[in-house]
Amino acid sequence: MAGGATAMEDSVEQRRASDSAATLDEASSVVTAELSGPARIDAPADEPFLPLQNRIDALREIVHTVAETNVDDPGNTPPEAFEHNAESLLGDLQEMLRDAERQFVEARDRSDALANAQADAIIRSVEIIDELEETKLQLSEARRMAEESARDTQSLADMIFARTSDAILVLKNRECIACNDKVAKLLGMPRDKVIGSFPSLFAPVETIVTEITPAAASANDKPGVMGLGECPATRRRRKPHDPYDAALRHGLWSFESYRPGPKGDDAWFEVTLTSFPMRGETHVLAVVRDITSRKRFEQELQRNRDFLHNVINAVRDQLIVQGQNQRLLLVNDAFCDAHQVQRNEALRRTAADFAPPHEADLLRQSLDRIFDDGLPQDAEEQSLDERGLPQLMAVKRSLFRDPVTGDAFVVSTSRDITDERRNEERLRLLATVFNNAQEGVAILDDQGFVVEANPVFLEIAGGSDENLLVRRLDHVLDWSFADFPEVIEAVSAGQPWAGRVSLMRKSEQRSYWVSFSPASDRTGQATSHIIAMFSDVTDIVKSQKRLRRRAMFDNVTGLPNRRYFRERLRAMIQDPQHQDPGFAICFLDLDDFKHVNDSQGHAAGDQLLRQVARRLRKCAGPGSFVARFGGDEFAILLPNADAEHRHVSEIADTIHCEIRKAIHLDHNEAYVSVSIGATHYPSHSQDVDTLLRNADVAMYAAKDAGKNQLRLFSAEMRTSVEVRHQLHGELRRALRGDELKLAYQPKVWAASGKLAGCEALARWQKPCGTNVSPGEFVPVAEKTGLIIALGNRVLRNACQQAKHWRELGLEVPHVAVNISPNQMREPRFIERVERILEETGVDPHWLELEITENAVMDNVDQAVKIIDRLGGMGMSLAIDDFGTGHSSLSYLKSFNIDTLKIDASFVRDLPDDETAVAIVRSIISLGKGCGLTVVAEGVETDDQLNLLLEVGCDVIQGYYFSRPLWAEQFQDWAARRAELTGDSLVATS
């Protein structure tokens, strides 16, 4: 059993070995067959199968080893290790077989794909070869057709070259190598002469007017034509240059050339030069086109454009054109002028930009509406004028379309109707005035027939419209106007007429002022109509008579006045009968009338004037002309007066005697005298104004001579007046400048010798250094009214100096300032004094105002009021020149004064003149009795001083102590005086 089993096992093992060997041999044969097969182009045989071959060789060796062992020892069993290795090798071999099989399949697939690709490539190559053959056939056909086309093109080109209307040349190296017949005709030379030459048409010239830039050429733009094209062309005269060279540089060069003709047949040419390569060389093709007709058309077009431009700008209305975006496309000069805008600036804006803000939106809406409905618009709109002020415009808008593009545009015209509307309103107003005027107005034709009339005229004429419009004016009115036809003829010729006529109206004779004037239109041109105006002046005529009476006569005395006197004097000068022996002009001025008028009242003064007037008429005699000039001045014209004034002297003596008689008033008597000045016509002058001036000069000479005098005019008097007039002008300039200054004359207490104050005195030194005496310029200032300005200047400067001295520590008790009578009569005198005090800041207690006795007595009541107000301010008041006037001592107690000043004329005669001594004693006694300080002025000697001390005078002023001093000199004098008297001048304020 054991042996059988072993044999069975051996048999099994042998089968296994045999099977393994068989399997191995089969694999080996397969591998060997595979290896021995055709090599793959993409996988060498020794790469995937080398490891497998190695394993097979190793396994084959093992099998052979086993086989040999079994042969030698059939019962020998292989060891387990051997068996294990064999199984391991067999497993590896199987795995490697599977890998090899997989790789084989992949290699086969690749090989199949490659074989397919190679087959496809071969097939495609065959197809390409077929296609190439087809293409070759096509190219041959195309070449044949191209050659035929080239022959056709050449034929066409030759035909165009020969038959084109342009001159064509081919240039090479500045020589013509080909050209058509048009070139020969253009250049006026045979064609064979052109060949081989370089035509002057392409030579450097200065006639180029338009050139196209290279940028334009590259953009295929056309050159501009006369500046009207749409391409970036340049149109200007250039320096000479070479067009041929330019074509070579730029490839394309175009220009226009102008050639003047011998018979005015000038020609324009458009030349285009194009460079091109041919057979390795550069050629230039020149095309010359005759554009003379086009140029003439363009010139005509430009003339039409200029004409249209001038027409548009000649339109006085504003004209604009707008597109659908409402931007301005065209504006005329009237629009630019109205809005003060340049044309190019206007074309960047819209019409709404020029409208008032509140109208702009409405204007835009109107434009939108006309673009939508196309309906014309006619409206009145607000706008702004060149000053920015609103104006009313009549606007018309209409829409039109471009016939080519169909684009819509709106053309608008605007006309300023502001004045037109004002004129319409004015016409309506005039119509209202015409129909409601208080004067009668009639419109006549050039024959005097009534064309139109207002209601007042109809009432004057007493008829209706129908009855009047067919009748001539002199047949309508009931008047005696025999010259009416001549007047109408003259007015029609342009000569207005006016005059007063009398008409019967409602059985009453009434006066009318009638004027006829030619009517004119708005431009001032006369029309064929006449305007007749009738103003009822009946009441005016009556009033004029009354007014003439008032205008020509004095309402107090009933005498003719100054105006009437001048008219009568002028008439006598023009009347030849008064030339020989002439006549006299007398001026009369009542002496002391003002005293009567102020003391007894204006009513008494008027009574006195009336009685004087009656006496003058009586004395002057028949034929004389007596007038009152105003105030207390009278004038008399004495006819038949001789140049020696004998007649005048007789009349003057009579007047003097008659006027000096007592004049009886209501309850009193008055006594006056009269100063008379006379001049003679024609001896002294033949001019009205000169005669009146001469008489006035003579009258003032009489008053200066002591009143109740007669003075006959002489040339010396005129010289005196001229000097006075010159002095007046110089004084006026002095007041404007700095020629007038103040000097200060000290006042000294008689008992102690201490400073009592000073008096400010005006001094005038001309720029030339000449001093003018106060006795000269003060009377001139009084007569001419400059005394007001002079007095204010003195008061202001004195106040400033008084304050300055106080600021320096110099205490001057009082600074006295003279006040003239004219200043006191000035209505605003008190107000002026107050203002000066306020402006200078001076203490009123430092001032003393000196008022003359006559100034006080001119108007006592007014003087009392003024003195009270001045005293109330704190100023001291003095009566200057006391004793020289005619004051009543009863008034002295009424004045709130502090000081009496004895006039120097009394002091001058001391102590020798007993009358002067008596007057001085009386004045001092009066002053003491009234509690007043008495000042004596003009003291110069020891005798005068001693007498004044003896009679009790309080204050001394005069050259005895000092002449008037300038402000700085006065300061030094006051300091020395204080040392001498032990006085303290330190200000206490």
For 210-226, letters b (16+ CB in 10 Å) and e give bbbbeebbeeebebbbe
Hunting for tokens 């089993």 — which residue is that? 5
User: Cα 278 from chain centroid?
Assistant: 73
Cα 871 from Cα 897, distance rounded (Å): 8
For 603-631, letters b (16+ CB in 10 Å) and e give ebbebbbbbbbebbbebbeeebbbbbbee
| Candidate from 216-220, 462-466, 558-562 with smallest mean pLDDT | 216-220
Burial of 728 (0-12, 13-18, 19+ CB in 10 A): middle
Query: What share of the chain has pLDDT > 70, as a percent?
Result: 84
Query: What share of the chain has pLDDT > 90, as a percent?
Result: 26
> For the structural domain made of 315-420, what CATH number should be given?
3.30.450.20
**Residue 57 pLDDT exceeds 60:** yes
**Residue 523 pLDDT exceeds 80:** no
Amino acid 393 reads M
Cα 957 from Cα 760, distance rounded (Å): 12
- Per-residue confidence (pLDDT) for residue 101, from 0 to 100: 79
Tell me what the mean pLDDT of segment 338-343 comes to.
88
Residue 552 structure tokens = 């020509």
Is it true that 164-297 and 437-542 share their CATH fold?
yes
| Candidate from 313-327, 570-584, 647-661, 801-815 with smallest mean pLDDT | 570-584
| Candidate from 20-24, 185-189, 768-772 with smallest mean pLDDT | 20-24
Query: Long-range contacts for 546-551 (Cβ within 8 Å, ≥24 apart)?
Result: none
The H or E element spanning position 755 is: strand 755-765
pLDDT band for position 962 (50/70/90)? Answer: very high
Closest CA to 753 of 983, 951, 921: 983
Closest CA to 70 of 120, 8, 11: 11
Closest CA to 412 of 381, 377, 385: 377
**Residue 228 pLDDT exceeds 50:** no
Hey, which residues does 588 pair with through a beta bridge? 634, 676
Cα 205 from Cα 46, distance rounded (Å): 91
Cα 301 from Cα 307, distance rounded (Å): 10
CB 302 within 8 Å of CB 397: no
Q: Is the dihedral of CA 883, 885, 887, 892 positive or negative?
A: negative
- Per-residue confidence (pLDDT) for residue 611, from 0 to 100: 94
Architecture category of domain 437-542 in CATH: 2-Layer Sandwich (3.30)
Cα 767 from Cα 904, distance rounded (Å): 31
Quote the DSSP letter at residue 792: H
CB 472 within 8 Å of CB 442: no
Burial of 23 (0-12, 13-18, 19+ CB in 10 A): middle
One-character DSSP codes across 616-640: HHHHH-TT-EEEEEETTEEEEEEES
- Per-residue confidence (pLDDT) for residue 985, from 0 to 100: 61
Query: In the predicted model, what is the mean pLDDT of the chain?
Result: 81
The CATH class for the domain spanning 739-974 reads alpha beta
What's the fold here for domain 553-713?
Alpha-Beta Plaits (3.30.70)
- Other CB atoms within a 10 A radius of the CB of residue 889 amount to 9
- Per-residue confidence (pLDDT) for residue 453, from 0 to 100: 87
- Indicate the domain borders of the chain: 2-124, 164-297, 315-420, 437-542, 553-713, 739-974
Closest CA to 756 of 922, 611, 961: 961
HSE at residue 218, side-chain half, CA atoms within 13 A, is 4
Tell me what the mean pLDDT of segment 394-406 comes to.
91
Q: What angle do CA 140, 145, 151 make, to 5 degrees?
A: 130
pLDDT band for position 748 (50/70/90)? Answer: very high
**Local structure of 270: helix, strand or coil:** strand
In 3-state terms the chain splits into helix, strand, coil percentages (rounded to 5) of: 50, 25, 25
pLDDT band for position 194 (50/70/90)? Answer: confident
Please state, in angstroms and as integers, the Cα–Cα distance from residue 349 to each residue in 319, 329, 340, 955, following that order.
15, 9, 14, 94
Which runs of E-coded beta strand occur in 823-982?
847-852, 876-882, 899-902, 933-937, 955-957
pLDDT band for position 64 (50/70/90)? Answer: low
Quote the DSSP letter at residue 79: P
pLDDT band for position 511 (50/70/90)? Answer: confident
Residues 412-438 have pLDDT tens digits of: 998 888 888 888 888 888 888 888 888
Which residues touch 342 (CB under 8 Å, ≥6 apart)? 336
**Local structure of 605: helix, strand or coil:** helix
- Per-residue confidence (pLDDT) for residue 62, from 0 to 100: 66
Please state, in angstroms and as integers, the Cα–Cα distance from residue 44 to each residue in 103, 107, 191, following that order.
12, 10, 85
- Per-residue confidence (pLDDT) for residue 117, from 0 to 100: 84
The H or E element spanning position 607 is: helix 602-620
> For the structural domain made of 164-297, what CATH number should be given?
3.30.450.20
CB 224 within 8 Å of CB 233: yes
Amino acid 548 reads R
Tell me what the mean pLDDT of segment 628-634 comes to.
90
CB 633 within 8 Å of CB 700: no
522 phi, psi to nearest 5 deg: -65, -25
Cα 893 from Cα 836, distance rounded (Å): 29
N-to-C CA span, the chain: 181
- Per-residue confidence (pLDDT) for residue 6, from 0 to 100: 41
Closest CA to 317 of 410, 390, 411, 401: 411
